[in-house]
Amino acid sequence: MGNMITINQQDYPNIKLGKSPCTWARYGCLSSVVLMGYNWLNNKEMLPPEGVKKLLYSSEGLLQWGSLCNLNLELKQSIRHNPGSVRGVVDKWWKDKNVFCALEIKNGVHFVWQIGRYWPGLGYRIFDPWTGKKTWQKNDITGCRIIGNN
């Protein structure tokens, strides 16, 4: 495992997500989590200017999951809009050091990188690419994406 290279998505206001009008700064939370996880798994230091050239996006700026293969990554498991299933899935994958978890907040309005186990009363330890800070996330978790090397 590499070092934890953090990405504050708001540091990249001029990067467009594919051919969409969406910018990394406003809509790049999931892409930021993907790059941070990729860097951590592979001991790399890829930042958004390079990462956006490898990832593909819909005309609405949505990350195309198939493009993870351009980083030798793949979506291992996806839980969407199902808060009751998240903890079991995340706990199942937690010990696998070949994967990382993007937690879905409010049905995909936002994504954060899970960097720690669940603690009662606090939730998950996360890195939030919107604020650029480590914090805790307990509420509004509606899903998760488990991503790893393929």
Q: Is residue 94 part of a domain?
A: yes
Average pLDDT over residues 32-45: 97
Q: Is residue 104 part of a domain?
A: yes
How many angstroms separate the CA atoms of 32 and 130, rounded?
A: 9
Q: Is residue 78 part of a domain?
A: yes
Report helix, strand and coil shares of the chain as percent, to nearest 5. 35, 30, 35
Domain count, the chain: 1
Q: Is residue 47 part of a domain?
A: yes
The boundaries of the domain holding residue 113 are: 9-149
- Which residues are bridge partners to 102 per DSSP? 113, 145
* pLDDT at site 3: 77
Average pLDDT over residues 99-105: 97
Q: Is residue 119 part of a domain?
A: yes
Average pLDDT over residues 120-130: 96
Q: Is residue 4 part of a domain?
A: no
What is the average pLDDT value for the chain, to the nearest integer? Answer: 95
CB burial of residue 56 (10 Å; 0-12, 13-18, 19+):
middle
Is it the case that residue 92 has pLDDT exceeding 70? yes
145: tokens are 């994406």
- CATH, residue 43: 3.90.70
Q: Is residue 93 part of a domain?
A: yes
How many angstroms separate the CA atoms of 123 and 73, rounded?
A: 27
Please, which residues have CB within 8 angstroms of residue 105's CB and are 6 or more apart in sequence? 111, 112, 137, 140, 141, 142
Q: Is residue 1 part of a domain?
A: no
CB 25 within 8 A of CB 8: no
How many angstroms separate the CA atoms of 96 and 110, rounded?
A: 24
